Structure 1
Amino acid sequence: MHSFWIIFKQAFLTKARTKSFIATTVIVAASFFLVANLSNIIALFDGGSEDADVLHVLDESGQLTPLLQEQLAAVDSPVQAMPTEMSETELREGISEGTIEAYIELTQAQGLAARYVTESANGMGSGADVEQAVQSMQTVLAADEIGLSQAEVSQLFSPASFEREAVAVSSKSEEELNQARGLVYVLILLIYVAVIYYPNMIAMEVANEKSSRVMEILISSVSPVKHMFAKIAGIGMLGILQMLIFGTAGYFAIKSAGTDLAGGITGVFGFSDLKISTFLFAFLFFLLGYFLYAVLAALLGSLVSRTEDVQQLMLPMMFLVIIASFIAFSGIAMPEATYVTVASYIPFFAPLVMFLRVGMLDIPLWEPLLSIAIMLVTIGVLGTIGARVYRGGVLMYGPSQSLKDIRKAIRLGDNK
């Protein structure tokens, strides 16, 4: 057991101290702060101009500008409509020189007409708030013409009461689905990264030890099977540590943004009303998915003698992960689909797809437990086969780029 912990520590510390691991961790953590504070950075480069949201209004009547200001305020728009004494030629020159963001010309003849002018199609958010305010102005003006009161206008445009109800026992309400969707999406993405990144790291590590002949020294003092599982555990602990760093960095990045998002992030991503069991299942499927693919990766990594050959031999495993991610991400929109249910019991898809169903649906407890049992059996079978392949594979040298070498590795391991 002492040798197991030595290899475990070596696998953990060796990768944790590499420049690539440190750089990846720092860059990803820094990107969280960059994205969270992107609006503040953009405002900084804009020079904090007070005219950034000023909309100059050409209004010959002088009566339409106050109404536009009122409607913009009603939709909580940052755009400030200001009457201007400049001519249209001067306004166009101001836009070309960058001193004016946009202007609008309002006229009223047969009806309200507006012409919105910016330097590019993206100017001032493409004028979505302004267009909405102008449409509201048209409604108000038309109501005045036909003599409708404000109460009658409000009654005319009041929305109908519309409720959704699902009769399926496993269905959640639309509100509950919206709360869960963000969290499930984030956690599926984390599980996807874990099962595609860390097992690949194991395969590269095993192949590197073989190519440098370090493997021959290691297996002379410790069994290949113990060596394999110690590496899997060491890299797995490294993965958990890195995910905790990312999660902590993301939390403090949002807190540092100083916006309303910082206070409402739990509601945005569905953390506020989600069950503790969902987080437990997320961690459990993270571990099971990692071990499932890690055993497979160690098996494949033991078959190659050069690190250059690892990616080619890992392609089948990568395809399994990619297919699982496609099913999971498409299933977010329709978690009760038959193909999603079937895929949730296939061990190589279950870490992503069954967790999707756990997060999005109120399914009986026996369903995720059955999926977990299938995965545990598969990990056991893969572990048994993987140990035999690994025992012989670490002793194989020369070109090896075919899955047919598994049989050769098993025979070599059994004869060892």
Structure 2
Amino acid sequence: MNSFWIILFHTYLTKLKTKSFLVTTLLTVIIVLVLTNIHNIIDLFDKNAGKDKVAVMDQSGQLYEPFKQQVKSINKDIQLTFYKGSEKQAEKLVEKGELSAVIQLRTNDQNLPEATYKAMSIADSSLYTDLQTSLQQLKTMLAATQIHLAPAQLLKLYEPVSFHKVALEKNAKTEEELNQARSLVYVLLFVIYFAVIMYANMIAMEVATEKSSRVMEILISSVSPIKQMFAKILGIGLLSLTQLAVFLLVGYYSFTRNMESLKGGFFGVYGFSNIPVETIVYAVIFFILGYFLYATLAAFLGSLVSRIEDVQQMITPMTLTVVAGFMIAMFGLGKPDAPFITATSFIPFFTPMIMFLRVGMLTIPAWEAIIGILILMATISILAIFGARVYRGGVLMYGKSNSFKDIKKALQLTKNE
């Protein structure tokens, strides 16, 4: 048993000290900090401090003030100024960056407003949309005045329609609970996806590297291949938990410091507060089981190759399976109760992502989640037993190997031992 722990901690510490691990961790931490400080970074490079300055040229002489009121009600960060200079002068100010845009207001033959919007680029659709919406509301108001609609009648036109959502299912989640669950599901799907892609590939590469350097011949004389396989799986697992802990701590610290500026974006819609404890428990369970499922699969696939160049080709089907599960889960975020989502949640290679999606988004019977967990545990056990036999023979195979026919050869070598 001592040899098992020696290999486990050797794998963990060796990978922990590698430049690739340190660089990857550092770059990911930087990305997390950038995402949680995005508004501060934008304001740093924005000389207008996030406010758009727009010059208004009113050819009618009567549209500026009501237009300004409409713009203010839609977006307070748009600063309108009445411009009395020439059109060419206004365009030069836009070119110099002193103005974000210039808008020319006029009336048509029906005495209704229309406008021309000029900016260095029309890629900023948000500013254009806000100005267009403001002008549309002003046009509606003036048109209502022409047909002699009273203010109370005009208010009825703008009054939002009453549309209530009622879930008939017993103990169904509220809209707020769904948004919170969607946020956690969304994050966990990405965590599982990248963890499997990164760490399962790392396990396969680790086995192939040792085989290519002939280190495996020394190891199998003192430690059984089965111990080696599970020691590497747990060693890389500890490594992944270490890296994820760093990401979560940095992300949580940065998020709490910038919560006020982030609440209007993604985090404002998909909040992380008041998430049920059982949802977090399921998240941990499905993440751990998902890791062991694909890690076991990657270990014995890696044992079939003796050249590092062949690793990617050998684990490509596994990678495509992860991608397929991820894409199905992305579709399921919008329709978690679709029969297709229900069916695929019981397919073991999709269960970690899709069953958790259903648990987080829906109120499903507890037995469905338990069956999903049992299916995963049974699949991991089968893969572990079968994978250990393949691994035991696979580590003795050398030469070019890029075909799944080598699984049969590995099993034959195991029997002959």
Q: TM-score range by the shorter chain?
A: over 0.9
Deviates more, 1:396-405 or 1:243-252: 243-252
In structure 1, C-alpha distance between the alignment counterparts of 2:256 and 2:167, rounded to whole Å: 37
Any conservation in 2 of the 1:324–1:348 contact (CA below 8 Å)?
yes
In structure 2, C-alpha distance between the alignment counterparts of 1:148 and 1:162, rounded to whole Å: 26
- Which residues of 2 match residues 129-140 of structure 1 at below 5 A? 129-140=130-141
Are the structure 2 counterparts of residues 167 and 34 from structure 1 closer, same or farther at C-alpha, using a change threshold of 3 Å? Answer: same
Indicate yes or no: 2:34 matched with 1:34: yes
Instruction: Give the secondary structure class of the aligned counterpart of 1:399.
Output: coil
- Which residues of 2 match residues 186-225 of structure 1 at below 5 A? 186-225=187-226
Are the structure 2 counterparts of residues 372 and 382 from structure 1 closer, same or farther at C-alpha, using a change threshold of 3 Å? Answer: same
Deviations 1:265-295 (CA, angstroms, capped at 9, x unpaired): 7653342232111111111111101111111
- Which residues of 2 match residues 261-272 of structure 1 at below 5 A? 261=262, 268-272=269-273
- Which residues of 2 match residues 4-43 of structure 1 at below 5 A? 4-43=4-43
Partner residue in 1 for 2:334: 333
In structure 1, C-alpha distance between the alignment counterparts of 2:169 and 2:42, rounded to whole Å: 47
In structure 1, C-alpha distance between the alignment counterparts of 2:259 and 2:345, rounded to whole Å: 40
- Quote how far apart the aligned CAs of 1:390 are: 1.1
In structure 1, C-alpha distance between the alignment counterparts of 2:331 and 2:172, rounded to whole Å: 17
Are the structure 2 counterparts of residues 120 and 265 from structure 1 closer, same or farther at C-alpha, using a change threshold of 3 Å? Answer: closer
Partner residue in 2 for 1:161: 162
Are the structure 2 counterparts of residues 263 and 159 from structure 1 closer, same or farther at C-alpha, using a change threshold of 3 Å? Answer: closer
Partner residue in 1 for 2:261: 260
Deviates more, 1:340-349 or 1:247-256: 247-256
Partner residue in 2 for 1:107: 106
Indicate yes or no: 2:66 matched with 1:74: no
In structure 1, C-alpha distance between the alignment counterparts of 2:125 and 2:86, rounded to whole Å: 21
Partner residue in 2 for 1:185: 186
Instruction: Give the secondary structure class of the aligned counterpart of 2:399.
Output: coil
In structure 2, C-alpha distance between the alignment counterparts of 1:389 and 1:219, rounded to whole Å: 14
1:92 maps to amino acid: E
In structure 2, C-alpha distance between the alignment counterparts of 1:81 and 1:6, rounded to whole Å: 69
Any conservation in 1 of the 2:57–2:103 contact (CA below 8 Å)?
yes
In structure 2, C-alpha distance between the alignment counterparts of 1:103 and 1:157, rounded to whole Å: 28
- Quote how far apart the aligned CAs of 1:168 are: 4.5
2:157 maps to amino acid: L
Partner residue in 2 for 1:83: 82
Instruction: Give the secondary structure class of the aligned counterpart of 1:31.
Output: helix
- Quote how far apart the aligned CAs of 1:160 are: 2.0
Are the structure 2 counterparts of residues 264 and 385 from structure 1 closer, same or farther at C-alpha, using a change threshold of 3 Å? Answer: same
In structure 1, C-alpha distance between the alignment counterparts of 2:378 and 2:402, rounded to whole Å: 28
1:83 maps to amino acid: F
Instruction: Give the secondary structure class of the aligned counterpart of 1:274.
Output: coil
**Count of matched residue pairs:** 415
Partner residue in 1 for 2:347: 346
Are the structure 2 counterparts of residues 267 and 350 from structure 1 closer, same or farther at C-alpha, using a change threshold of 3 Å? Answer: same
Deviations 1:33-66 (CA, angstroms, capped at 9, x unpaired): 22333343333334x2379611111114443222
In structure 2, C-alpha distance between the alignment counterparts of 1:265 and 1:115, rounded to whole Å: 33
Instruction: Give the secondary structure class of the aligned counterpart of 1:412.
Output: helix
In structure 1, C-alpha distance between the alignment counterparts of 2:297 and 2:7, rounded to whole Å: 19
Deviates more, 1:89-98 or 1:366-375: 89-98
1:127 maps to amino acid: Y
In structure 2, C-alpha distance between the alignment counterparts of 1:36 and 1:180, rounded to whole Å: 20
Are the structure 2 counterparts of residues 263 and 58 from structure 1 closer, same or farther at C-alpha, using a change threshold of 3 Å? Answer: closer
In structure 2, C-alpha distance between the alignment counterparts of 1:319 and 1:51, rounded to whole Å: 42
In structure 2, C-alpha distance between the alignment counterparts of 1:280 and 1:369, rounded to whole Å: 13
Instruction: Give the secondary structure class of the aligned counterpart of 2:104.
Output: strand
In structure 1, C-alpha distance between the alignment counterparts of 2:371 and 2:306, rounded to whole Å: 38
- Quote how far apart the aligned CAs of 1:298 are: 0.6
In structure 1, C-alpha distance between the alignment counterparts of 2:356 and 2:13, rounded to whole Å: 31
TM-score (normalizing by structure 1): 0.93
Q: Percent identity?
A: 48
Are the structure 2 counterparts of residues 319 and 132 from structure 1 closer, same or farther at C-alpha, using a change threshold of 3 Å? Answer: same
In structure 1, C-alpha distance between the alignment counterparts of 2:224 and 2:49, rounded to whole Å: 70
Any conservation in 2 of the 1:344–1:371 contact (CA below 8 Å)?
yes
- Quote how far apart the aligned CAs of 1:259 are: 4.2
Are the structure 2 counterparts of residues 41 and 267 from structure 1 closer, same or farther at C-alpha, using a change threshold of 3 Å? Answer: closer
In structure 1, C-alpha distance between the alignment counterparts of 2:28 and 2:86, rounded to whole Å: 50
Deviates more, 1:280-289 or 1:89-98: 89-98
Are the structure 2 counterparts of residues 172 and 50 from structure 1 closer, same or farther at C-alpha, using a change threshold of 3 Å? Answer: closer
5+ unaligned residues in a row in structure 2: which ranges? none
Instruction: Give the secondary structure class of the aligned counterpart of 1:104.
Output: strand
- Quote how far apart the aligned CAs of 1:368 are: 0.9
Partner residue in 1 for 2:289: 288
Are the structure 2 counterparts of residues 339 and 169 from structure 1 closer, same or farther at C-alpha, using a change threshold of 3 Å? Answer: farther
Are the structure 2 counterparts of residues 402 and 184 from structure 1 closer, same or farther at C-alpha, using a change threshold of 3 Å? Answer: same
In structure 2, C-alpha distance between the alignment counterparts of 1:399 and 1:123, rounded to whole Å: 54
- Which residues of 2 match residues 48-59 of structure 1 at below 5 A? 48-49=47-48, 53-59=52-58
Partner residue in 1 for 2:411: 410
1:404 maps to amino acid: K
Are the structure 2 counterparts of residues 337 and 125 from structure 1 closer, same or farther at C-alpha, using a change threshold of 3 Å? Answer: closer
Instruction: Give the secondary structure class of the aligned counterpart of 1:107.
Output: strand
Deviates more, 1:98-107 or 1:287-296: 98-107
Any conservation in 1 of the 2:51–2:79 contact (CA below 8 Å)?
no
- Quote how far apart the aligned CAs of 1:178 are: 3.0
In structure 1, C-alpha distance between the alignment counterparts of 2:363 and 2:71, rounded to whole Å: 42
TM-score (normalizing by structure 2): 0.93
Deviations 1:84-142 (CA, angstroms, capped at 9, x unpaired): 11111211232233333211111234111122111211257341111111112122323
Are the structure 2 counterparts of residues 51 and 104 from structure 1 closer, same or farther at C-alpha, using a change threshold of 3 Å? Answer: farther
Are the structure 2 counterparts of residues 101 and 274 from structure 1 closer, same or farther at C-alpha, using a change threshold of 3 Å? Answer: same
Are the structure 2 counterparts of residues 72 and 45 from structure 1 closer, same or farther at C-alpha, using a change threshold of 3 Å? Answer: same
CA RMSD of aligned residues (A): 2.2
